[in-house]
Amino acid sequence: MIRRAALIAASCLLSACATRSPPPAEAIAAPAPLACDPRLVAPLPDEPPVRGGLVQPSTLQEREAVAAFLTGEAEARAWGREGWARAAQAREACLAASPAAAPEPVPR
């Protein structure tokens, strides 16, 4: 009998500490957008200038080699300009998505 009374008293004491679960949240707030990679919002450097010169070719082989070299240089510069144009587009999109990440403007 004492055991039963002790068990009932213990269960009453333990159940008195229990609380109800909190009500479900009305709406979960959307997470903040991820910050842009700082390399995307960094100012873009200008294209380096053309430097140096070439010696006047004297043979047909030298003229062909110079023409091939200059064609390759022109293609490489065009490829680089395309890459910088894409980088500028990515920078603008990133700054539009998170204006807080915008550094001070760089004069061009």
Query: Where do the structural domains in the chain lie, given as residue ranges?
Result: 37-42+56-108
Q: Of 95, 88, 85, 87, which is closest to residue 35 (Cα–Cα)?
A: 95
Give me the chain's average pLDDT, please: 81
DSSP code per residue over 74-108: HHHHHHHHHHHHHHHHHHHHHHHH-GGGPPPP---
Cα 35 from Cα 95, distance rounded (Å)? 10
pLDDT in tens, 28-63: 777 666 777 788 778 888 888 888 888 889 999 999
Exposed / middle / buried, residue 95 (Cβ in 10 Å: 0-12, 13-18, 19+): middle
Q: How confident is the model at residue 93 (pLDDT cuts 50, 70, 90)?
A: confident
> Per-residue pLDDT averaged across 72-83, rounded?
93
pLDDT of res. 101: 53
